[in-house]
Amino acid sequence: MSPNASLKIATYNVNGIGSRLPVLLRWLEETKPDIACLQELKAPQENFPEAAIKDAGYNAIWHGQKSWNGVAILARDHAEIKEVRRVLPGDDEDLHSRYIEAHVGDLLIGCLYLPNGNPAPGPKFDYKLSWMKRFITHTDELLKQNIPVVLTGDFNIIPTEVDVYKPERWTNDALFRPESREVFHSLINKGWTDALRKLYPDEIIYTYWDYFRDAYSRNAGLRIDHFLLNNVVTDKLLKAGVDRHVRGWEKSSDHAPVWIELSK
């Protein structure tokens, strides 16, 4: 396939861009996504490594935050990124950096870091519920637009029992609670397509393995990083996958990158 026959979009929860920069640059160089969405920068706005990202061939927009959260969109060959918003609408009091949205070429890209929500019940789970409600409201608006839309990032939702190594241990976890799964399923029912499941309906696919108990080598993982596509994009879906080997690198994030390829 010629380099320009398809468009590759990736998502990667880096778990701290300060510590992860060498791994991030190595992965960008190896896999060369046209667009990369990052989550959990864990860095204030001014600490984003803009020069190193530019040297790697990428333009970037980002919304940082001290210590926690933080999201970014990167575009290869210094392609133009037209920022639409950097907060999820619906709550002026919400100061977490968890959503950024931009046009890149013909596409509208929403990059999200949905709240974890543990412990549930509790205030953190309430925040997750209210964030998801705002997300539904906003994505309903996006569905009305007749343009290609990609929503990607760390959803912190395990969609089904197939997506967790031992579902019985996760019944009360905020990532697997019925309220969280219901939001994911309602998005599917509204017309969004889960890209990985569309191409691999029955496979066990994980995108996260925790740092404890040697989870990666035991393949005790979760599928929580997702691509949701509207119908215009789904018609262009060629391939999808997880860069699983990156999770095995030295100084890796606890997440692996996930990607799709679209026909142009």
78 is in an annotated binding site: no
Residues 72-101 that bind DNA (CB under 7 A): none
Pairing of strands 82-85, 258-263: unpaired
Q: Is 251 in the site for DNA (CB under 7 A)?
A: yes
Taken in order 92, 94, 95, 98, the sign of the CA dihedral is negative
Query: Would you call 96 a catalytic residue per the annotation?
Result: no
Which of 40, 101, 194, 243 touches DNA (CB under 7 A)? Answer: 40
Which of 15, 139, 152, 180 touches DNA (CB under 7 A)? Answer: 15
13 is in an annotated binding site: yes
Q: Is 228 in the site for DNA (CB under 7 A)?
A: no
Site string for DNA, 201-220 (x = CB under 7 A): -------x-xxxx-------
How far apart are CB 252 and DNA at their closest, in Å?
8
Q: Is 180 in the site for DNA (CB under 7 A)?
A: no
How far apart are CB 56 and DNA at their closest, in Å?
18
d(CA 8, CA 202): 23
Find tokens 């699983």 and name the residue. Answer: 244
Q: Considering beta carbons, is residue 1 or 212 the nearer one to DNA?
A: 212
Query: Would you call 113 a catalytic residue per the annotation?
Result: yes
Helices 178-190 & 123-143 angle (0-180, nearest 10): 0
Binding site for DNA (CB under 7 A): 13, 15-20, 40, 42-44, 66-68, 115-116, 118-119, 124, 154, 156, 175, 208, 210-213, 222, 224, 251, 254-255
